[in-house]
Structure 1
């Protein structure tokens, strides 16, 4: 039996030429979009989305290049830029009838959400970020042997060819490594969900690599232009991260403050996959954000 988000239907909607996003949609009221991370799909929200559906119309898409959504060939550096992927999300919510929406992203989805907040402040009412730094800051804080924890960033930043081949030849081991290494509560990702994450990732190696490659290239160009221009996120922003800042030798909250005028930075005892490990806590933090 396929794993689903209980009480949610599925919609597949065209968002760009030749690209469709598949999303789980449920609930009622104003729109709240939840964006998944790596190496996951919209299923990462299966324990959070039903808790929020009484308050909002909750939309959980698979990002471009992931899960059941379209995986166009990376014909240019912009195909998987966060600017392009953010535009996908805006097009999706518009097609569902919402001109404004709250937006929460985890990991890769958080980078997309960050870009959507900068590029579309008239569309994004509230912004939640789960367990990432802005891309520019991520690269800035990676130094020496401590950067080994992010070896995948360097691997997928390489020119097309070798990363795709290496990962495809050991896909389950590669993606499974992160599911194991980043989880503080392995039981939070049951066997059937883990199997779905591995299957979906195995089928999306080129697009996943292209997504990461963009964050070592064109995404930094966009972020640097915004930082140099003094652009900031205008909406209320909540950032929730593991308490790993001191361990890695930097102040995560200080990295976020220049980007957001109205920021709440919080830490959690959950691991990286916090929406699956601590769904009640994450849902409560999202509801608190929506009340601001």
Structure 2
């Protein structure tokens, strides 16, 4: 009997095959070098309906200043090509940059969506940040919470959400036509895989999520959330394929077993420092990218919990 997880994967495979015949979506990327983050506009050329995946709000941590230069470049592209935004998709609650989704939604419209397990992240980090009773830990900051296998569309292009936990409990990969937006689950083959030591992370789950993605057709396009330029490579790259990952990923290529991966990932994670923007990023992103409300003096404040991580 087919399980729910197998059913979702099989639907994704079938969708990718149909996309080859029906026409693939156009994907345009924006790379933010300060946070090593790739933002995507993915759109249906027939209807000009579009989605924005993993947007970036500029943030100068030293000055405590936000900006919209990166988001404004996305807006300019959308307007230049006459696109209509249907979705603002977040692959997870990012720990390395602030989301610009609320700003983009105000200007361009669209539904803000993330995986349903964001509720777990909200509960964990709501306590870390002592967010209080005014912070609803039910995902209501988002317009749509996706479950594994949920179907949606961008114009006439089919899309499906796949739950790929491990980096965080809430990670989702979005299969849009023949393109997959993997979030932090995978990096380029020469750089490897995401860390799994954040609260709620799990290296064993990460391995299984990656193996699930590697069951998609070899030619499936993978669009990654980050690139850090592996040793010996002098340029940023954030697009690859399932086949390239299966054969060449330095951490999880074919032949690497689960126990060996978990041992490698656990020992490697123990050497990594926390991301520089994890504290401002998570407390904003768990709220769907909404900044804290201004206090009585009209100024917004972020919290820095001491000795909590």
- TM-score, normalization by structure 1: 0.29
* Higher RCO (C-alpha 8 Å, min separation 6): 1
Higher helix share goes to which structure?
1
Between structure 1 and structure 2, the one with the greater Rg is 2
